[in-house]
């Protein structure tokens, strides 16, 4: 009889509010005091605390909205300054309808409002932007943790994105370091001994979704350890999850 | 000091090959012998064993391809009989380019090949279809388990779908029973005391993705228990995850 396969998702408690310049590795290891990080663990961190530590906050009082931002905001009852920030964070507008702005960010992510978000941000008129380079942010955290722990811990930075055709948002990986974000089973055999086709799993996105089960949206639990998942060490990046526009049937 | 939040994903071992007419509840409870199902657990089952138990298999030798199927298959080196089955399982073709068929199924799911798949299916020329009504399949399994266990266990039937704009497939929920598939935080307050907007989480999809971490693609582990996630009892259905075409900017 085979033993069951176990994967544990551990939400770290008592995370303080993160501020610009904070040492995220130190804060995370302090929160992990009761459940120390083990070799083999994966760390999943929500985008917001990474952005806050990097000072990616914009005070809307400093923003002068363009005519386009004023027009769209006026029509749909939005803050024109926030719309302006969204436009500045975009390299392409994918859809701009019924008060919804779906944007392609400079990273190539396609999401609502270019990832600009006011929830869980201190200050009445402050919005939070995505990190400039979430893969680089993940790599810095990965390196800082390896230095303190003496072993490598893959890092995933997650954010919640909507999807076409399906209701509700789910967490996906916007930054990755220390592991392959895709598991490529092409050329391997299935349980019937036949070669498998087109089976590339977006494991970093699945790990981000799994971590959301402990993050919650209201509890202050932005950091999760995933224990028991056999990851593949690799110089992976979340950029590998962004589909080449040439291959993209929905561009 | 708060205790950490724990969620466990337990992959049940030693599942036999499932055949038409098999009692899934019985097979699953036998596989759970070493890790008995507990009150509070969620059961995630991959689509393929549900389809097999329901006899949703097609022998391609019995299929006469249409001219459209022969044309597309010939151009892209595919089996015209399998393309024909895909067309029959579709209510709309969303994209038909470069050998890729993205379909809207009768359930409203948008996915490659209308969910028709030959991997992990016994027989050289046999393909597997999605269940006729995956929510009804989930409900039947939910009822059968409740009868044997004496408490309700939410059931999620998962399948791996591709996504626009992102590489790799992830598991999502195509059938749900016994829990709300969406967690609606609209109107609640965030950690800063502000009302949250547009925060509806597709938790059934996140649970399906989490379960995939133990399903694997090559190991025979199609059933997972998720322990420790505070689900909301409700007469939920995966149909709630399918976006109303009226709201869908990408239709």
Nearest CB neighbour to A192, from listed B1, B121, B206:
B121
Q: What is the pLDDT of residue B218?
A: 57
Superfamily name with CATH number, domain B8-56+131-241: CofE-like (3.30.1330.100)
* Residue B231 distance to chain A (closest CA, Å): 10
* Residue B65 distance to chain A (closest CA, Å): 22
Q: Is the pLDDT of residue A216 over 60?
A: yes
Q: Is the pLDDT of residue A197 over 80?
A: no
pLDDT tier, B249 (very low <50, low <70, confident <90, very high otherwise): confident
CB contact (8 A) between residue A205 and residue B171: no
CA-CA distances (angstroms) from residue B1 to A41, A174, A202, A228, A231? 22, 31, 35, 25, 31
Looking at chain B, the domain(s) classified CATH 3.90.1660.10 span: 57-127
Superfamily name with CATH number, domain A8-55+131-241: CofE-like (3.30.1330.100)
A50-66 as b/e, with b when 16 or more CB fall inside 10 Å? bbbbbebbbebeebebe
Residues of chain A neighbouring B220 (CB-CB closer than 8 A): 191
**Predicted confidence (pLDDT) per residue in B7-16, tens digit:** 999 999 888 9
Which whole number is the average pLDDT over A38-67?
A: 97
Which whole number is the average pLDDT over B20-36?
A: 95
Q: Is the pLDDT of residue A237 over 70?
A: yes
Nearest CB neighbour to A194, from listed B119, B194, B214:
B119
Secondary-structure percent of chain A, ordered helix, strand, coil, rounded to 5: 30, 25, 45
CB contact (8 A) between residue A9 and residue B10: no
Q: What is the pLDDT of residue A245?
A: 82
Please give the CATH topology (third level) of the domain spanning A57-127. CofE-like fold (3.90.1660)
Residues of chain A neighbouring B34 (CB-CB closer than 8 A): 1, 3-4
B45, exposed or middle or buried, with CB in 10 Å at 0-12, 13-18, 19+? buried
Give the residue from B3, B4, B240 with the most A CB atoms within 10 Å of its CB, the best one to mutate: B4
Alpha-carbon distance of A228 to A211, in angstroms, equals 13
CB contact (8 A) between residue A9 and residue B13: no
Q: What is the pLDDT of residue B184?
A: 84
CB contact (8 A) between residue B95 and residue A243: no
- Distance between first and last Cα of chain B: 49
CB contact (8 A) between residue A190 and residue B221: no
Q: Which residue of A has its CA nearest to B247?
A: A165
- The complex scores an ipTM of 0.94
Q: B191 by DSSP, 3-state: which?
A: coil
Looking at chain B, the domain(s) classified CATH 3.30.1330.100 span: 8-56+131-241
Q: What is the pLDDT of residue B251?
A: 65
pLDDT tier, A39 (very low <50, low <70, confident <90, very high otherwise): very high
Looking at chain A, the domain(s) classified CATH 3.30.1330.100 span: 8-55+131-241
**Predicted confidence (pLDDT) per residue in B186-224, tens digit:** 777 766 666 665 689 999 999 999 999 998 755 678 999
Alpha-carbon distance of B181 to B175, in angstroms, equals 9
Give the residue from A163, A204, A239 with the most B CB atoms within 10 Å of its CB, the best one to mutate: A163
Q: Could you tell me the pTM of the whole model?
A: 0.95
Is residue A111 within 8 A of residue A105, CB to CB? The reply is yes
Q: Is the pLDDT of residue A190 over 80?
A: no
Q: Is the pLDDT of residue B4 over 90?
A: no
Which whole number is the average pLDDT over A103-127?
A: 91
CB contact (8 A) between residue A6 and residue B10: yes
Q: What sign results for the dihedral spanned by CA atoms B227, B231, B236, B238?
A: negative
Is residue A42 within 8 A of residue A108, CB to CB? The reply is no
Measure CA B225 to chain center.
15
Residues of chain A neighbouring B95 (CB-CB closer than 8 A): 249-250
* Residue A72 distance to chain B (closest CA, Å): 17
**Which of B100, B141, B8, B166 shows the shortest CA–CA distance to A172?**
B166
């Amino acid at each position: 009889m085979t033993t069951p396969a176990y994967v544990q998702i551990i939400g770290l408690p008592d995370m303080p509010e993160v501020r610009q310049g904070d040492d995220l590795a130190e804060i995370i290891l302090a929160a992990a005091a009761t459940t120390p990080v083990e070799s083999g663990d994966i760390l999943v961190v929500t985008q917001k605390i990474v952005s806050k530590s990097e000072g990616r906050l914009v005070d809307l009082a400093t923003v002068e909205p363009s005519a386009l931002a004023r027009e769209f905001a006026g029509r749909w009852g939005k803050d024109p300054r926030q719309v302006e920030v969204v436009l500045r964070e975009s390299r392409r507008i994918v859809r701009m309808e019924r008060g919804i702005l779906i944007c392609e960010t400079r990273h190539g992510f396609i999401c609502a409002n270019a990832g600009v978000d006011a929830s869980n941000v201190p200050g009445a008129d402050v919005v939070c932007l995505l990190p400039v380079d979430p893969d680089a942010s993940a790599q810095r955290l990965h390196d800082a943790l390896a230095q303190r722990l003496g072993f490598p811990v893959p890092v995933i930075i997650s954010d919640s994105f909507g999807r076409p055709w399906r209701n509700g948002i789910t967490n996906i990986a916007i930054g990755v370091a220390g592991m392959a974000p895709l598991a490529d089973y092409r050329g391997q055999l299935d349980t019937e001994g036949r070669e498998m086709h087109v089976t590339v799993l977006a494991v970093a996105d699945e790990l981000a979704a799994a971590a959301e089960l402990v993050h919650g949206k209201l509890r202050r639990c932005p950091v999760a350890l995933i224990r028991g998942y056999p990851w593949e060490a690799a110089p992976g990046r979340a950029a590998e999850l962004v589909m080449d526009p040439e291959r993209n049937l929905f561009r």
